[in-house]
A = this chain, B = another copy of it.
Amino acid sequence: MEKPSRRTTIYDIAELAKASPSAVSSVLNGTWKKRRISAKLAERVMKLAEKQGYAVNAQASLLRREKSNVIGMIVPKYDNRYFGQIAERFEEMARDRGLFPVVTCTQRDPDLEFEAAKELVSWQADCVISTGATDPDRISAFCAAAGVQALNLDLPGKAAPSVVSDNFAGARTLTALILDRCNAEFGDVQPLRFVGGRLSDHNTAQRLKGFLQEHQARGIEVPETHILATGYSATKSATALADFRPQGPTGLFVNSTIALEGVVKWLGNLGAAGAQVRYGCFDWDPFGRFLPGNVGMVEQDVDEMMTRVLALVGETGQADAVIHVPCRLHVFGAA
């Protein structure tokens, strides 16, 4: 409540307590018993620290220490259930492990990603986790040069161990669900359409692979024109579908909630014909179950992914190791 001038330091408190800075330091960081500081002095110091609004200067403290216990994460976005949950669980679980989580959001911008990683290294992070990074290997290379551990999450890299969802298996299961449902409700076995995402994106490619494999296993041929991986935006997927006015039963594999927005919009414009459309989405949203025609959604197992990736912190694993985490399938409106 006193000096709005400069921040209180251990020197200020030492003066007030008539003690040395080293004694004050050890009281405030809990090592005072080991340093044989009397309980009397300790209490006096702690009272003063509280009254003065003392907070340790992390800069000075970390500068002197060897391990920082800072663990950094870069995520592309927060405004999305999946990454939001990742950031949130990361902070929570890192704290539980006695680490200081620092998360930073890089808007899918490769340069910003790199800058952010560099910044995290500047903050003496012991480990940097790149989530959904456009160019994870560039970050890994920098971290390697700086002597900092790097890990990848959600998108795999070649230069650091990765933890990713099992997109292939998840997509195959979802494809099977949609096909089964179309079959059960309409007695139909037409090939589905794949909507949203970019083929150059690793996860989309994996999902498409699962999508195609399930069709193949059933002896259903998928025409090229059914692959509408036109990018990540509701508008793009709505546009991709715009010309398509289904005659009869139709099934869609929707590659993200953002694409799902476009699909639902398209469906709304379809009128009565929409009743013959069934779809599933590779991604999860709490409102998904209320959307008509939605037969199921795949939820990535954020907790498990986070457990796995945090288990790698401090370990020296194979640089190109990839851990696949199974997804959870939510089935809606089952008969």
Residues of A participating in the B interface, judged by any CB pair closer than 8 Å: 1-8, 51-63, 77-81, 84-85, 87-88, 91-92, 100-105, 107, 118-119, 121-124, 142-148, 234, 260-261, 264-265, 268, 285-288, 290-291
Contacts and interface: CB of A to CB of B under 8 A. Distances in A.
A55 to B, nearest CB: 4
Given A55-B122, A57-B63, A105-B88, A145 B264 contact: no
Contact of A145 (B1, B103, B107, B146): B1
Given A63-B63, A79-B81, A53 B287 contact: no
B119 A91 contact: no
Contacts of A88: 77-79, 105, 107
B4 A54 contact: no
B80 A84 contact: yes
Nearest to A258: B286
A265 to B, nearest CB: 8
Given A87-B78, A234-B286, A287-B288, A59 B124 contact: yes
Contacts of A55: 118, 121-122, 146
Contact of A147 (B7, B260, B290): B7
A145 B92 contact: no
Contacts of A123: 58-59
Contact of A103 (B2, B100, B103, B234): B103
Contacts of A77: 84, 88
Nearest to A86: B78
A290 B80 CA distance: 18
Nearest to A148: B7
A145 B91 contact: no
B291 A146 contact: no
A52 B144 CA distance: 10
A242 to B, nearest CB: 17
A268 B289 CA distance: 10
Nearest to A145: B53
Nearest to A291: B290
A103 B4 CA distance: 24
Contacts of A101: 104
26 contacts: A2-B145, A3-B147, A51-B145, A53-B143, A53-B144, A53-B145, A55-B121, A58-B124, A60-B63, A61-B122, A63-B63, A78-B87, A79-B84, A79-B85, A80-B84, A84-B84, A87-B105, A88-B107, A91-B105, A100-B119, A234-B286, A261-B286, A264-B290, A268-B290, A287-B287, A287-B291
A91 B63 contact: no
Contacts of A265: 290
Contacts of A59: 58-60, 62-63, 123-124
Given A85-B79, A88-B77, A146 B103 contact: no
Closest 6 CB pairs of A and B: A53-B145, A287-B287, A78-B84, A53-B146, A58-B122, A79-B84
